[in-house]
Structure 1
Amino acid sequence: MNPRISIVPAVCHGKPVIAGTRVLVSTILGALAGGDSVEMILEDYPNIAREDIGAALEFASALSDYQETGYESVA
């Protein structure tokens, strides 16, 4: 989806991480949901960039774009 996000089975059990790191996308999203600012996250994880946080948000947005399609009845 985004070159800044990596999903590799041998890294963090295949969970999405910031490419080149072991920082889980879910960790970044959880920090944001918990009220941490982007600046706070960048201080806590100096090996990631502001663009990585944006990539994590884009990744979550794409995954949450769920649409339910009804089944067609079969006669």
Structure 2
Amino acid sequence: MKRKYKSKKFDSVKNMPELHHKLPDQDFELEKSEVLNFLKNDEGTMQWLFDTMNSSGLIVYNPETKKWHGKDYGL
């Protein structure tokens, strides 16, 4: 079953043009992925990623330093 996203924050992703994840005739490198470059520059995608990491407890806010860190940082 197709999952439907009602949030408008994914509208630009739904309209992403054809892009390479692995460039033709080259070894795969994340830094060269056109798809990942598109996604990392999409505000809605980045907000969703942050919200997901935060709500799952993978990142936490330290009110003393006013900074975020991974849940296992400093263990």
The TM-score normalised by the length of structure 2 is 0.29
The TM-score normalised by the length of structure 1 is 0.29
